Amino acid sequence: MPGNVKTTTKISFLCAFIISLLSISACAPPPETSVVTDVIDGDTIVIASGEKVRYIGIDTPEIYPEAEEHGIAAMMANRHLVEGKRVRLERDVSDTDKYGRLLRYVYVDELFINAELVRLGLAEATSYPPDTKNQRYFEELEMIARETGRGMWAE
């Protein structure tokens, strides 16, 4: 009989542990994902909900009201990378900017889109505190793009 009490206690403990793990994972929010329905420019997209998403930590040449040099190239690269694709959206500190756009790091599968645009020389690393989690990485990618003459740094 004493062996059965120990076994029952171990099983009860194990069941409680498994239930607590399941409860924790059930409460964790799923990653924010959506499909990109439109590309506005090199650093702004529209997702299926109709919300605009501004990429955190980078700035690309503008295309509105007039296209700046490399603005169209940045928009076309962004379109190629994300349009019609399911993206994972990762928040830093801020949820939205002063224009009501969601501020996010954007991924297609494992490709980090914000970083890829900097790596290609089509975006500058631009710090917008308090959203600076990846800023050092963006700055390193920009330095390499400049040194190797990629994109806007080719001149």
Q: What CATH number did the domain enclosing 79 receive?
A: 2.40.50.90
Residue 19: pLDDT over 80: no
Give residue-wise pLDDT tens across range 78-89: 999 999 999 999
Range name among 20-24, 79-83, 93-97, 98-102 with the lowest pLDDT average? 20-24
* 120/66 same-domain check: yes
Range name among 5-19, 21-35, 82-96 with the lowest pLDDT average? 5-19
Enclosing domain of residue 3: 1-29
* 69/91 same-domain check: yes
Residue 109 is predicted with a pLDDT of 97
What's the burial of 79, exposed, middle or buried (CB within 10 Å: 0-12/13-18/19+)?
middle
**Residue in 51, 62, 83, 139 annotated catalytic:** 62
- 147 annotated active-site: no
User: How far apart (Å, rounded) are the C-alpha atoms in residues 63 and 70?
Assistant: 9
Give residue-wise pLDDT tens across range 24-83: 444 445 569 999 999 999 999 999 999 999 999 999 999 999 999 999 999 999 999 999
* 131/72 same-domain check: yes
**Residue in 101, 104, 116, 124 annotated catalytic:** 101
* 6/54 same-domain check: no
**Of the candidates 136, 141, 137, 134, the residue with the CA atom closest to the CA atom of residue 118:** 141
Residue 24 is predicted with a pLDDT of 46
* 98/133 same-domain check: yes
- 62 annotated active-site: yes
Residue 52 is predicted with a pLDDT of 97
* 45/118 same-domain check: yes
- Contact by Cβ (8 Å): 99, 112: no
* 18/42 same-domain check: no
Residue 25 is predicted with a pLDDT of 44
* 25/38 same-domain check: no
- 110 annotated active-site: no
Q: What is the number of domains present in the chain? A: 2
Distance of CA 27 to the CA centre of its chain: 22
* 143/103 same-domain check: yes
- Place 155 in a pLDDT band, splitting at 50, 70 and 90: confident
